[in-house]
């Protein structure tokens, strides 16, 4: 499959709501503003997009709105398309490409964890990739699924012509290095994308080509500077920038989750709003904590 390698930043964009409805204009407005930032594209319907909490019709609504707002040919739209069984995932993958996806991000079925052996994981991705009309990116996020994708499975899948990379959110630098070694064996055909902000500098220096980070929604230029320094091999600048960024990154991920990320967007004049229940929005003290970290980075007056 002919596909320009994936590199650079692809923030996993949140889904704004108006009450219980998708706020389509708010989503389009956010993307219009992000289009002026140093981003290669967007991940739509990822974990930060609350995809698991959307109906199929709502997911289609989000993808259609995003596709209209994202400049075709200038920025890629990667669509989350994993489901709990193979046939459903294949259907979601095909539908995503029908609606204009440039690639799909496919996570693992996770309800029947004991059944998801290395053999089952490889068979799942191989069947999905065989049926996909476009590029497939593997998605390893054991914090949510409880199931990492083992490097040996990635090595077996990487030669598949439709599989073009992996987003690794395991947060394990040795695992990330192992994936980068696999990627190097396949040249431009396979990319590793970092899904954990704490590994951004070292991951890029170890061979990862890009990142899918929640914090890139609110601090894309800071993330870009770290990536560029790491590509130059300037460990001091890359690690120094990351040290400054990490307090905010932690607040909008592990500490306050999607509610924290949406609060940060609100503070910066984007449309964040509240997450869908039972997820909670941060309280006033947490919002002030987020605002303080935004001020530290010069993002908020």
pLDDT tens digit sequence for 129-174: 999 999 999 999 999 999 999 999 999 999 999 999 999 999 999 9
pLDDT, residue 189, reads 87
Among 33, 166, 46, residue whose Cα is nearest residue 101:
46
Examine residue 155 and state whether it is found in any structural domain, yes or no: yes
Examine residue 73 and state whether it is found in any structural domain, yes or no: yes
Name the active-site residue from 74, 113, 167, 262: 167
Which residues, other chains included, contact 1 with Cβ-Cβ below 8 Å and sequence gap of 6+? 134, 135, 161, 162, 164
List phi, psi (to 5°) of 24: -60, -40
Examine residue 275 and state whether it is found in any structural domain, yes or no: no
Examine residue 249 and state whether it is found in any structural domain, yes or no: no
Examine residue 245 and state whether it is found in any structural domain, yes or no: no
Output the average pLDDT for the chain.
96
112: CATH: 3.20.20.70
pLDDT value at 96 more than 50:
yes
Is-catalytic flag, 167?
yes
End-to-end CA distance of the chain: 47
Examine residue 236 and state whether it is found in any structural domain, yes or no: no
pLDDT value at 128 more than 80:
yes
Element (H, E) at 141: none
Could you tell me whether strands 17-18 and 21-22 are parallel, antiparallel, or unpaired per DSSP bridges?
Answer: antiparallel
Environment class of 72 (CB within 10 Å of its CB; exposed 0-12, middle 13-18, buried 19+): exposed
* Range 280-299 average pLDDT: 97
Residue 81's domain comprises 8-218
Examine residue 35 and state whether it is found in any structural domain, yes or no: yes
* Range 282-301 average pLDDT: 97
Could you tell me whether strands 41-44 and 76-80 are parallel, antiparallel, or unpaired per DSSP bridges?
Answer: parallel
Examine residue 285 and state whether it is found in any structural domain, yes or no: no
pTM above 0.75, yes or no: yes
* Range 237-259 average pLDDT: 97
Report the number of distinct structural domains present in the chain: 1
pLDDT, residue 3, reads 67
pLDDT value at 206 more than 60:
yes
């Amino acid at each position: 499959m002919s596909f320009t390698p994936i590199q650079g930043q692809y923030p996993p964009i949140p889904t704004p709501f108006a009450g219980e409805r998708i706020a389509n204009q708010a989503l389009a407005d956010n993307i219009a503003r992000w289009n002026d930032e140093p981003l290669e594209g967007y991940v739509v319907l990822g974990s930060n997009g609350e995809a698991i909490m959307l109906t199929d019709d709502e997911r289609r609504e989000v993808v259609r709105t995003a596709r209209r707002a994202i400049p075709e040919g200038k920025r890629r739209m990667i669509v989350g398309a994993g489901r709990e069984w193979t046939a459903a995932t294949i259907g979601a993958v095909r539908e995503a490409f029908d609606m204009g996806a440039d690639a799909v991000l496919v996570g693992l079925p996770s309800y029947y964890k004991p059944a998801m052996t290395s053999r089952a994981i490889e068979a799942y991705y191989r069947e999905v990739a065989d049926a996909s009309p476009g590029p497939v990116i593997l998605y390893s996020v054991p914090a949510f699924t409880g199931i990492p994708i083992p490097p040996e499975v990635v090595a077996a899948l990487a030669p598949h012509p439709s599989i073009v990379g992996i987003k690794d959110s395991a947060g394990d630098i040795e695992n990330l290095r192992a994936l980068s070694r696999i990627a190097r064996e396949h040249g431009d055909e396979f990319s590793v994308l970092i899904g954990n902000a704490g590994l951004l500098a070292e991951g890029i220096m170890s061979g990862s080509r890009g990142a899918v980070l929640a914090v890139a929604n609110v601090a894309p230029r800071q993330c870009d500077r770290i990536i560029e320094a790491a590509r130059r091999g300037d460990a001091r600048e890359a690690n120094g920038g990351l040290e400054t960024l990490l307090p905010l990154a932690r607040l909008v991920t592990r500490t306050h989750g999607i509610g924290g990320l949406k609060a940060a967007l609100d503070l910066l004049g984007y449309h964040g709003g509240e997450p869908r229940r039972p997820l909670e929005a941060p309280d006033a003290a947490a919002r002030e904590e987020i605002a303080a970290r935004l001020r530290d980075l010069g993002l908020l007056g």
